[in-house]
Structure 1
Amino acid sequence: MTDIRTPERKGQVLVLCAPSGTGKSTLVKKLREEFPQIGFSISCTTRSPREGEEDGRDYYFLSVDEFNEKLEAGEFAEWADVHGNFYGTPKEPVEKMLYKGMDILFDIDFQGCMQLMETMPDAIFVFLMPPSYADLKSRLEGRNTETEAVINRRLRNAMKEMASAPKFEYWIVNDDLDKAYGELKSIYLAGKNRPCSNPGLLESVLSTWE
């Protein structure tokens, strides 16, 4: 058998976006546990840490002034004002991981996702949705961490985000966690074989014809 030189893979970007309360964080955790080699873009935020969250592991928790300083310096790959708090993805660690050929998982808000569709068009964009409005409302209320006013605001925003679902390549309905995870895993693995993730492969194979 002819020995085909294997060109270096280009890291792919997997972007997962969902209305608040849809179960995105749980799916992200499961994917990272099974594929620990996936790089994860840790976002900066001005909101307060929730119970169990750690600075530098879940988010980089910043003051509004610190966030604005980084924003003005152009340090974010994307950023958004979400429910009255700022979120942003530091650009430098993302660029370093992609340069090394690492895949990167983005767990970001809808606004930031729209920005990445412009700046990273080769990324894989997945929209996670709840099975129903009633289910999402129940999940948000079940957190017992937010006021009724905040929950209603999240539900209004969710309606707007659902209307933009056609902009995404893939849809996953999170009505069954194992099923939803299986679909996300399949999307990630299939993405590794896209031409944009293997830019030198065709040339390498064609070189055997010479």
Structure 2
Amino acid sequence: MFKQIPLGPIQTNAYVLYNEKKEAIVFDPGAEGQALVQWLNKETLKPIAILLTHAHFDHIGAVDEVRDAFHCPVYLHEKEAEWLLDPALNGSSRLTGRTLTTARAADHLLGEQKTLTLGDFTFSLYHTPGHSPGSITYYYKEEDVIFSGDVLFQQGIGRTDLIGGNQDVLLQSIHQYLLTLPESTVVASGHGPLTTIGAEMDHNPFLAAY
């Protein structure tokens, strides 16, 4: 089971995946940390890890609040190890009139490993750069869902005009890894509604043109 929770001024989707034991994985806690912690406590969920799809500012704003409230480790791709600490890398320094966004360093850096097991949860990991150099897609086969951050959206793809972005690389990542998954696979994107691999194969204009 998972819950989609849009947070912050850009309505970045955080996701909470949980099981019958009330253990939870929190993906991309981007803002409104106090509200997110309150919701988790209300639902009596026990986060055992925070998984970041990438480290842009709108995906990391509540990382430390959730980490400190539940004493759970943060996972991030090694290619973005410094991004939590650096507003120039995570993009928050580009925005005028907003507080710079930072967080403490990740507890665990992910490299080229293909799987990650946390408690009763096992994920297949796909390094899917293009939107950012360390973007990771987490596939949870038990529920046929990917948590893909800003790689793929309903009839859209991630922007590629930020540091390390490259549209050709992004499209290659999507075709190499995501479009090889079952068409029924739910795409839990970083912004906007849920979609499926099959729907994007049929209707996404960016993929059709590749």
TM-score by length of 2: 0.34
Instruction: Tell which has more relative contact order, 1 or 2 (C-alpha 8 A, sep 6+).
Output: 1
Give the number of the structure whose residues are more often strand, by fraction: 2
TM-score by length of 1: 0.34
Greater C-alpha Rg = 1
